[in-house]
Structure 1
Amino acid sequence: MTEILLIRTGRTQQEKLNWLIFCTEQQEIIASGELPNVSHLEELAEKALSREVVVLLPSDQVQLKTVTLPTKWNRKLEQALPYMLEEDIACDIDDLFIATGASTLIDDKHAINVAITDRKWFEGWLAAFNEHDIVTYKILPDALLLPTPNEQALSVIELNNQWLCKQGDWRISIVEPLWLNDFLTALGNPDVAHYSPASQFPESVNLTAQTQAYDLPLALFARQLPEVKFNLRQGQYQLKKKTALWWGYWKGAAIAASVALVASVLVKTLELHQLSSEVGAAKEQVVERYKNAFPNKVVRPHLIKSQINGELDKLDGGNRTGFLELTNELVTVFNQVTEFTPETLRYDQRRNELRIRARGKDFQTFGKVKAILEQRGLSVDQGSLNNDGDFVVGEIRLRGAV
């Protein structure tokens, strides 16, 4: 994809939206503009068809926090994260959508970056874009795409008569011009690197004009996109299916892929025919060996398995639960419980007992195997089970009639 469409929303759906089409290969603006409100999104529907759409949300609607953790980030901590944040949140935690960013360290302690926004507000914007058939692949708070400033400094740019600010990798804000003095004082009067003219700042502030990077805010954000891996489209809001975008760009490749698919199907059909022939030859070989082993028996090819089992029963003294029968029962288990893997098999002929040492996904796996075997009328004893890293190992004793 060489072009992206950036759309910056307002706090409400009645406020204006900014948009910009950017060529990533040439690093240049293709087009840009504004929409009065969300009802005009249909004007961008056609532009979005062949481009990747990135939605930028006002940073004052997305709160970024870094949460200290008791241990390294894992799934259990992910489930507990809402309760860890509850004391710092004034509203009901269930009303919020919490997205996770990169794990980090704070004074040698494990931590995780999180972004928090109002769930209904977020879902409202998703619904608005869906209503106009605009597929959004990435959603970010706008100021996160400002260049990361030097330590103890601030990056700023003006958009819609507000100042978007970034301090460090995971600290952003939006400031009204009248609040600039108080805002900078609260931050300890940091140095300010500004990416648009900064005539509204107090004279006491140490300003550094990034004139070589002066551009439309959305163009600056487009250039910074590769530097930001975070995406609010995650969890239940993760994009589950990519639609057929960029057909005009990939039509030739799609046709070539279709031809390759047809050729692959033909090859697989030939291979299947060959395998069928090999299976037929194997069946004929089994029948021939049965005739050699039991020359006085009538052979019925479609019942050959039953005939072989019957002759083995006779050789085994009529005992249907010998070693072969017990191992045959295990085949059924392996077909039903794929996460159960045997490591060793030991057979006690005197007791007609088969001992299986195996590795399973968890304790429930062994219980499932035991239940299946008991349902088939066998006597099953389960030995001790132990954790072995991400697996569970243990022993099952399977007995037939003695």
Structure 2
Amino acid sequence: MQFADRLNQVETSAIRDLFKLLGKPGIVSFAGGFPDSAMCDVEGIRTAVNAALTEDGGGALQYGATEGYPALREQLASFMAGKGAQDVAPEQLIVTTGSQQALDLLAKTMISPGDKVIVEGPTFLAAIQCFRLYGAQLVSAPIDAQGVQTDVLEQLMAQHRPKMLYLIPTYGNPSGATLSLARRKRVLELALQYQCLVVEDDPYGDLYFDAPPPPSLLALSPQVPGSREWLAHCGSLSKVLSAGLRLGWLIAPPELLAKAVMCKQFSDANTSTFAQATAAHYLRAGRMPATLAHVRKVYAERAAGMGQALRRELGAAIDFVPPQGGLFIWARLTGAGGKIADAQELSPRAVEKGVAFVPGAPFYCANPDRATLRLSFATADLPKIEEGVRRLAQAL
């Protein structure tokens, strides 16, 4: 068969490929990028399912509007208002099949072959793959603990005149970095100055451990008049309610949103009405604040436990900035004491010892740092985290 030329631009996910190695009994996995299913509010979701079937069972089991289930759009607009985006009306967002579909719709509507797209280095692997599938030329912008370095970003925007800038400003995947308030405002100014669409991907913003993060770019956009016209915001319920419901949303300027709806019609007609009705009832019941409080507490304990274990077991052989939220510790092997300094070399040795992580190189669109690695603390309890880190130290 002769496949589409665009498939030559991508390859299978390094993370998904790694999962094939994890069939070994007793392995401790720090590789996944998903939340702990044990913390899902099963009872609350069961109640929401029953309410959806009782109040409008026929509607919940039928096709729905491509834009989304009206009751869920209303609840999501209220949810965003609670996070500082006060002026988001239900008709200004569409419901997507996970925020990954939102990224795909943005790529379909915005990217022509050869268009320049700036991404963080490192960034979400699936975003790299998605943008390349549509022919984007990716440009890497460096980050530090405060997110993308806006002085360098400005130089890159002036040089490349990108059509799109993709950021995960809050507890980034994989970096865990959070863009500072000053840099957030600067990003909005640059978007307006260079008329470049900024895509704010925000699946982790509710998962803070102590103090809440700075307001989202969306919430800050009124402070930079005109920037809202160059901003798209992607949200998700996968990390805070249920990954299996596959529910996300896209907030974007009206013209872009209309094009995204048209492309979604071609893709799946509409996101599961039943899943949307369930989520709408769950949000309306007011259970989300308690769910988030519980999840934040557990993840904060696991993040701290993993950090302490890494310091104790690996010492100077590893370096990282403790995360303030999200699901990941982004670390770098230093090679101290003659230890391995290449995460891709370490990965198979670690699997042999019974622990798995994701090497950092695939998260870069260019010039990968092979010493980096991503460790997820989300799905392992504290005893497993300590055992996994001990095994990692043995592999090193």
Q: Scaled by the length of structure 1, what TM-score is found?
A: 0.21
The structure number with the bigger radius of gyration is 1
Tell me which of the two structures has the higher relative contact order, counting C-alpha pairs closer than 8 angstroms and 6 or more residues apart: 2
Q: Scaled by the length of structure 2, what TM-score is found?
A: 0.21
Structure in which a larger fraction of residues adopt helix: 2
Structure in which a larger fraction of residues adopt strand: 1
